[in-house]
Chains A and B, each alone.
Chain A
Amino acid sequence: MAAFRPFSSLLVGGNTRQLLAKRGAAHFNFQPSDAPKEYGDVRQKMNLCQAVNNAMDIAMDTDPSAVLFGEDVAFGGVFRCSIGLKDKYGADRVFNTPLCEQGIAGFGIGLAVAGSTAIAEIQFGDYIFPAYDQLVNEAAKYRYRSGGLFECGKLTVRATWGAVGHGALYHSQCPEANFTHTPGVKVVIPRGPTQAKGLLLSCIRDDNPTIFFEPKILYRLAAEEVPVGDFMIPLSKAETVRKGKDVTIVSWGTQVHVCLEAAQLAQEKLGVSAEVIDLQTIQPWDEDHVVESVKRTGRLIVSHEAPKTSGFGAEIAATIQDRCFLHLESPVNRSCGWDTPFPHVYEPFYLPTVWRVFDSIKKTVKY
């Protein structure tokens, strides 16, 4: 009656890779970046998952108070970001918690209040909401409400983020705007392995609680030469990833690559020169960088996967019309997810695709 036992077909070749875009190609092409010289000459090819692992490795090595915890973190995490770290730093520094996000966040705050560096993992950004109270009402307000007597700046919450091709409602969301409306926490999202490493190290060492969202579709898909040493990319600094003069496109995370592709298409098909800015830190964001660009181009498109209404794009649009009103040649355009939950089979129709961003460029320039 071995018929009912699953081993024969089950326990072969299982692989977390399966979670990532397997069916059909991803909706973008990853564009690797070349890290500036000052981040170090010695480089090694890493994907985003390895870059996160490498950053945490350095953080734990350089700070004996640092601990790393969350659901399934001990064996390496369901996305394998913490692989090998328990063996290297011990089970008291890298450990599983019970399955409880509010517990993870509250516990992390307490560690930080007592002077430890806390790196908390929330398995999916979609499951950060049980921790919302702890993050919004506690972490974000600790310093302010105690007159600076107590604070939890040593807390970093890492959570996976964004579309993967078939994640549907609860394995796809981009909840950054839920947190940018909360003064007191920083929100950071990398576009590739180099940024993941440099920004995560900055978050871990920053004296404010930070939420670091990791675009999970990039974990394996995005690989590039990453400096192997200890380097930090400053928070609240945007990066121009493509120079242009006709229109500015602002984005973050996976969507930067969609925008880069659309910008290239616009160059080829329309002869339009689009500048692409990776915001990197969503809050507090680098207004001056975007303002400088828009004053040159006179046009702005903001693009994010999250729903358009009350997305962070709205904030950028409002600020830019305020600071650049007389420079604008066309209304600020937002190319975003629709105002619906994230649908399973209709994902290709939901996302702000290369073609939707391309069309936004066309319309903005021809306005």
Chain B
Amino acid sequence: MLSRLSRRSPFNTSIFRSFATARERDEFRLQEYSQKYLGYRKAVFTEKLEIIDSSKAEAVPIYRVTDGLGNFIDSSQDPKFGKEMSVKIYETMTQLNIMDRILYDSQRQGRISFYMTNFGEEGNHVGSAAALKNSDLVYGQYREVGVLMWRGFPLEQFMHQCYGNSMDIGKGKQMPVHYGSKEHNFVTISSPLTTQLPQAVGSAYAFKRQPNNDRVVCVYFGDGAASEGDAHAAFNFAATLDCPIIFFCRNNGYAISTPTSEQYAGDGIAGKGPGYGLHTIRVDGNDLFAVYNATQEARRVALTNKPVLIEAMTYRLGHHSTSDDSTAYRLDFKKVQTWGDKDHPIERFKTYLVEKNWWDDEKEKAWQKEVRKRVLKAFGDAEKTKLAHFHELFEGVYDQVPELLKRQRDELDNHLKEYGEHYPLDRCLRK
């Protein structure tokens, strides 16, 4: 009967009327709405006039595994890391923390031009990275150094990048902390926010088309970055094009000075997920076990070409960057301290290690000392390493240096022959 109807002109209402009861019409339309408009969600009519008040809806719950002291609440959720894995997790988080302190201070001393710390967010980096496969492609924002460190990016390379010297695999092109590594499946960081999100979806789609795909893409971003138009594009593309991707939002309460209360008015970032048709979970970002479990499950789901959004709740303990003084807007300095005291991801995880007798004060001391030594050594070496020859500035604009740029390069060479004394040629390697 539906097919007969559809063959008739939709304007021929009298015929329509003769063939359909009110109920049949409802059913027809509900089926159409459901299948074609609403992604097979069950559609219903209501006669109750009610505008949904989003503030009345319950917030997406925060999945956690351990309590604030680091003790398991439901032992079935214990991912049961062995000793080796646990120690590696702890060592990565602490190494990151120590590197951050040293590089932060070095910027203060004017030795590197810029830096951004990861303080307070170590747990969500390492927890998620440990649940991914190292072959999964990662797109970062900038404050996800723990992911790259977990994958074994060498300390030396972090420092070379911060100096932009001739050993920097990024070739001195970008500001400090814009790391990238093909070997570690970590796409080079770009400063313009959120641009990585739709790109990550494209990569995920490319993965999906490969036979027997066993890779997902995990893309990281902040609570602020989630406001850009690119975030909307990415969520919508991933869901409509069924991409194997994990959207990992680090909600740390701030985008520079802007608190989340001025960034969005809904139920955080997770609240947006269902609206886009994304599988969604909100997780305690300072609970490494919870982040690990959530990411592992998200990865399983994503591999079935269902994109997943994870919102990790955390707190930015440090300033936004070395260009920022957060005391100008986080007036309640005590609150910052409270966060550090009451919920530090490294301390929470340490409870576990100590309880298992896999770690103690002596190990802690020795480890801290060793890392400090290694970081300082790598830092000193990077500082001493010269910049690449200045011709590098013309490389990589295109795959080949075009004639136009060759002429400009010659122009610069000729200029430097006469005026070289006014340029920092001694900081660069010779040809």
Contact = CB atoms under 8 A, between A and B. Distances in A.
Interface of A: 1, 3-7, 9-11, 13-16, 18-19, 22-24, 71-72, 74-76, 78, 95-96, 98-103, 126-127, 129-130, 165-171, 308-309, 338-341, 343-346, 348-350, 353-356, 359
Interface in B177-229: 178, 190-193, 224-225, 227-229
Contact of A16 (B110, B323, B344): B323
B422 A343 contact: no
B295 to A, nearest CB: 22
B258 interface: yes
Interface string B364-389: 00001000000000000000000100
16 contacts: A4-B94, A5-B317, A5-B344, A6-B101, A6-B340, A7-B336, A16-B325, A18-B322, A99-B255, A129-B192, A166-B175, A171-B191, A340-B394, A340-B397, A343-B392, A346-B392
Interface of B: 94, 97, 100-101, 104-105, 107-108, 110, 113-114, 117, 119-120, 163-165, 172-175, 178, 190-193, 224-225, 227-230, 255-258, 262-264, 317-319, 322-329, 333, 336-337, 340-341, 344, 346-347, 350, 368, 387, 390, 392-394, 397, 404-405, 408, 412, 415, 418-419, 422-424
Nearest to A358: B419
B422 A345 contact: no
A344 B191 contact: no
Given A6-B117, A75-B329, A356-B415, A99 B105 contact: no
A130 B328 contact: no
A350 B336 contact: no
A127 B193 CA distance: 9
Contact of A76 (B110, B318, B328): B328
Contacts of B174: 168-169, 344
A345 B388 CA distance: 9
A213 B120 CA distance: 36
B115 to A, nearest CB: 10
B393 A340 contact: yes
Contacts of B344: 1, 4-5
Contacts of B350: 1
Contact of B397 (A11, A101, A341): A341
B170 to A, nearest CB: 9
A6 B337 CA distance: 9
Nearest to B346: A4
B397 A339 contact: yes
Nearest to B117: A6
Which 6 residue pairs spanning A and B have beta carbons closest together? Answer: A14-B325, A170-B191, A166-B113, A98-B227, A345-B164, A346-B393
A338 B94 contact: no
Nearest to A353: B422
Contact of B404 (A309, A344, A354): A309
B229 A98 contact: no
Contacts of A344: 113, 164, 172-175
Given A168-B174, A340-B405, A14 B415 contact: no
B32 to A, nearest CB: 34
A338 to B, nearest CB: 5
Contacts of A3: 97, 368
A345 B119 contact: no
B327 A75 contact: no
Contacts of A345: 163-165, 172, 387
B419 A9 contact: no
A348 B412 CA distance: 11
B229 A78 contact: no
Given A11-B319, A75-B328, A168-B178, 4 more contacts: A14-B322, A72-B257, A99-B228, A346-B392
Contacts of A98: 224, 227, 258, 262-264
A169 B173 contact: yes
- Of A5, A23, A99, chain B has the most CB atoms within 10 Å of the CB of A99
B256 A71 contact: yes
B154 to A, nearest CB: 20
A101 B327 CA distance: 26
